[in-house]
Structure 1
Amino acid sequence: MAGTTLPTPLYGRYQEQIGFSELMVTVVFATYAAAVIGVLLAAGNYSDTAGRRPVLLFAMALSAASAGCFLLQSGLPLLFAGRLLSGGAAGLLSGAATAAVIELAGPRHKARAAFAATAANMGGLGCGPLLSGIVAQYTPWPLTLPFWIHLGLVALASGIILMLPETVADTRRWPPPAPQGVRVPPEVKGVFAPASVAAFAGFALLGLFTAVAPSFTSRTLGVHNLAVSGAVVFCVFFASTLGQYWTGRIGARRALPVGCGVLVAGLVLVASSLIAESMPLLVLGALCGGGGQGLAFRAALALISGAAPARHRGGTISAFFVVAYAGISLPVVGVGALATWLGLRPAGLIFTAFVMLLAACAGTYAARRPPAGA
């Protein structure tokens, strides 16, 4: 997952080298999310029949190929190819790896395993920009060394996967894909609606920081240090991981509406930072909004994976991630389009107002009608 956000602090360098607009930055970023959604729709349930381990190894191969595209890039085509391959890897990992971690843990440790899986998702996404920002700022190889490091991490992860036991009992060797679309079992539908709307709102905040925050820090705040830009993005994912930790203490039933409320407060701080052009407010908004996103995200994932039948768990989790990754891509492209017309600050304010409304609606619904079995 760290590989999917490695390019975040580097987009400014790519803009200087290749020459493209802020809208194109968000389109390149959204290409990744579109690939995630496409893979989730086409093969989100594939690991339920082919097994977790083969799917995870194929995802590692796609991740390595993505790093190769960035190492060889000389223009937009390879940037797009790298983001597509990275999205394919993340799409396969989102459902298969989460299901594998929960199944490997056994029935007594499912809550801890759910936290480990979601923390790996968010922690990895946060470590990507932090790593590439530091390397790009303080080494002579800003556009290559981050991806060589990533290739080393992929090799290490692949070795670990090869040693893991297979958790799917009845597997078939590379069965043909059976695209499921966005479908969930009937027993999950009551949980799925509020959980997925909350995830959409939370991932929209993550998308804003991942795609646009580095441009805001350099162009509006005048901070050109790539390590600082990477650290700002890291803050939102680090806070998300902490929020996921507290979900276990609060309980999923309360964490879903509470997380939405904290997310709204974080968005208010982000909007204030845009108005006041304040770095401290932006960091506070990242920490508060990320914490709320983490609370709501882990609660939503735990409720959905707990309600899903074992034979459909990978596909159900993948359907949940389809909605989440729609949130990380569609609103951000809207911000990029509005930024070319109105400017970055007005576009960001419109975005925060829209996401605040979504999070408030999801939190109110979850508070008034708690998911069954929560």
Structure 2
Amino acid sequence: MTPALDSSSPFRSLAVRNFRLFAAGQVVSVTGTWMMITAQDWLVLSLTDGSGSALGLVTALQFTPVLLLTLYGGRLADRHDKRVLLLGANLVSGTLALLLALLTLTGTVRLAHLCLFALLLGTVSAIETPTRISFVSELVGPALLPNASALSTSYFSVSRVVGPAASGALIAWLGTGPVMLLNAVSYAAPVAGLLLMRPAELLRGPPARGRHRVVDALRHVASRPDLTLPLSLVAAVGLFGLNFQVTLPLIARTVYDADATSFGLLTTALAAGSLLAALAGTARRDRPSGTLVAGSALVFGVLETLAGAAPTLGLAMVSLFFTGLASTYFAQAANHRVQLGSDPRFRGRVMALYTLILQGTTPLGSLLVGALAAPLGPRSGLWLGGLATTLAAALCLVADRRRTKPGPGL
């Protein structure tokens, strides 16, 4: 048995062997994914002479399956062995990434190919994401779930720091093809971690009975105002505020005239702030309040608006650091409020709904931001996202205060 870490340690979940294997595999894989995303965005702009609409289209196709299939993915997660589902998802994603890398390396890749692979990889992600999120509770149990969830956000943020920066440097040195190939190889890490786990040590509940209907989870959420309010706010932020995959490449290329290396550093600044917020979240032990969730969204909205007005690349990096910090703090607080407040019987489907709302709104937002970039300029995406997020957060703060006033009802 692995000796238990101090209960006050921010890394206490790493005392669980299965979680260590899981986290290590995810760090490598997600770093490769962020390298690929950076290379993909740069390749789209290169192939289309800086078209914001084309970049918005590819991003929308990548997230459209999340909008259509994530609830079904959550149903699969509640019904089947999550470890086996994750193994299959990573193997399929690795194969698709390898095929895309080969097209890029041979110089035959076209925008249509990027659109197709974005759609296929997004389809796998629609199943993998809710399964991965709900699998964490089986790895560590309810007592360590807030810490493990925060650490998961931390390694995602580390990957977002390392991935784009490394990708920008590699693109400038070797081109986009080798970056795509490294991403394909990175999928071997989570596959190895999942195979090395000890299934007997997974903290699974009793086999679920019934038909595992999605509608049952929706009814559960609808009956809980403490779940519907943060999910509504997540929808607004996901639609308007979290479209950095479109806004940052456009701003880097057309406003600051940055090269691939500088673009990678711009994305890294955003991710570095996210990492700091994720590390701060490891201290959380209880379910966050609705006021904390809405308040963090309000701060994020203000900071994103200011980031859109940054006059120089250096100031943009500073403002994006704080914007990334606020965005991740909000997303993590909302995740914990929903996950820790939901019935374990429905957790896979509820977290699928959370994923659907957070990521599934991105296709609409990406298309909107890409369309606005031409007539209003590339900064308009950050301004729209920041102002809309600020308004939505203020409304949720008022609604939460009314809901929690002493009196009848919830």
- Relative to structure 1, is the Cα distance of residues 148 and 203 closer, same or farther in structure 2, using a 3 angstrom cutoff? same
Deviation at 1:100, TM superposition (A): 1.4
Tell me, in whole angstroms, the C-alpha distance in 1 between the residues paired with 2:124 and 2:158: 17
Aligned to 2:303: 266
One-letter amino acid of the counterpart of residue 16, structure 1: S
Matched residues, number? 364
Tell me, in whole angstroms, the C-alpha distance in 1 between the residues paired with 2:159 and 2:124: 13
1:180-203 deviation digits (Å, cap 9, x = unpaired): 598252487322223223333444
Residue 198 of structure 1, aligned match among 233, 237, 251: 233
Tell me, in whole angstroms, the C-alpha distance in 2 between the residues paired with 1:223 and 1:50: 47
Deviation at 1:311, TM superposition (A): 1.9
- Relative to structure 1, is the Cα distance of residues 92 and 120 closer, same or farther in structure 2, using a 3 angstrom cutoff? farther
Tell me, in whole angstroms, the C-alpha distance in 2 between the residues paired with 1:291 and 1:215: 21
- Relative to structure 1, is the Cα distance of residues 177 and 184 closer, same or farther in structure 2, using a 3 angstrom cutoff? closer
Tell me, in whole angstroms, the C-alpha distance in 2 between the residues paired with 1:45 and 1:59: 15
Residue 144 of structure 1, aligned match among 171, 174, 177: 177
Tell me, in whole angstroms, the C-alpha distance in 1 between the residues paired with 2:269 and 2:402: 31
- Relative to structure 1, is the Cα distance of residues 29 and 68 closer, same or farther in structure 2, using a 3 angstrom cutoff? same
1:189-243 deviation digits (Å, cap 9, x = unpaired): 322223223333444577432222122112111222x122122212223322322
Residue 253 of structure 2, aligned match among 192, 212, 218: 218
Residue 334 of structure 2, aligned match among 300, 313, 316: 300
Identical positions, percent: 18
SS in 2 for 1:128: helix
Tell me, in whole angstroms, the C-alpha distance in 1 between the residues paired with 2:245 and 2:216: 27
Aligned to 1:47: 77
Tell me, in whole angstroms, the C-alpha distance in 1 between the residues paired with 2:165 and 2:241: 15
Preserved contact between residue 62 and residue 85 of structure 1 (Cα < 8 Å): no
One-letter amino acid of the counterpart of residue 267, structure 2: V
Preserved contact between residue 50 and residue 250 of structure 2 (Cα < 8 Å): no
1:75-106 deviation digits (Å, cap 9, x = unpaired): 12221122123223332232111221222112
Tell me, in whole angstroms, the C-alpha distance in 2 between the residues paired with 1:355 and 1:316: 23
One-letter amino acid of the counterpart of residue 332, structure 2: R
Deviation at 1:155, TM superposition (A): 0.6
Aligned to 1:337: 371
Residue 320 of structure 2, aligned match among 286, 302, 314: 286
Tell me, in whole angstroms, the C-alpha distance in 2 between the residues paired with 1:159 and 1:205: 37
TM-score normalised by L of structure 1 = 0.85
Aligned to 1:98: 133
C-alpha RMSD of matched pairs (Å): 3.1
Aligned to 2:20: none
User: Which ranges of structure 1 fall in alignment gaps of 5 or more residues?
Assistant: none
Preserved contact between residue 240 and residue 293 of structure 1 (Cα < 8 Å): yes
User: Which ranges of structure 2 fall in alignment gaps of 5 or more residues?
Assistant: 1-29
Once structures 1 and 2 are overlaid, which stretch shifts more, 301-310 or 176-185? 176-185
Matched ranges for 1:79-98 at <5 A: 79-98=114-133
